[in-house]
Structure 1
């Protein structure tokens, strides 16, 4: 993995310092920020960790995400085996998808 002169990377991207560059791209995902600054996303992750940018962002738990899925009947994942198995949805469409999936596994089709 190449080592980058942080300030040189920032100057090439139009920023005065690497801290400013990291702060200005904090709203982007790691890969998008890496493309914008011309470095790899692991480099962005390291720089963000050193500055404490986006490291402690709260994310909903798996249970909260599953509950939000089950509460939203318009979610595109309804009617899938994933909705039944991983997200715990027992609506008619998800139950049917899970039954069909299991049947196809048993019959080899």
Structure 2
């Protein structure tokens, strides 16, 4: 049954795995934003070309597309910031967990020393 659904993850491994997934998501969002930026530049060039040719109906359509592209770009920036915030929280939790583990070890060592004295 365990092989069917994959092996069970260790609790220490889960935050690291989640951190990797969040980093991957940030990279993908950044890649998509860059594609939107390139598309925005292309639309601007098309608008200029159509305006020179006097095709105002096409310019209006492209202008609407440009506005939509810029809105999507802003949304991608916001999503990236949100995902990075979650990644920072996961990193903070990992740090707190490591600190708690270290303090537990120090406490045990001090208790052992007190018993010896």
TM-score category of the 2 structures, normalised to the smaller one: under 0.3
What is the TM-score of this pair, normalised by structure 1?
0.24
Q: With a CA cutoff of 8 Å and minimum separation of 6, indicate the structure with the bigger relative contact order.
A: 2
Q: TM-score, normalised by structure 2?
A: 0.23
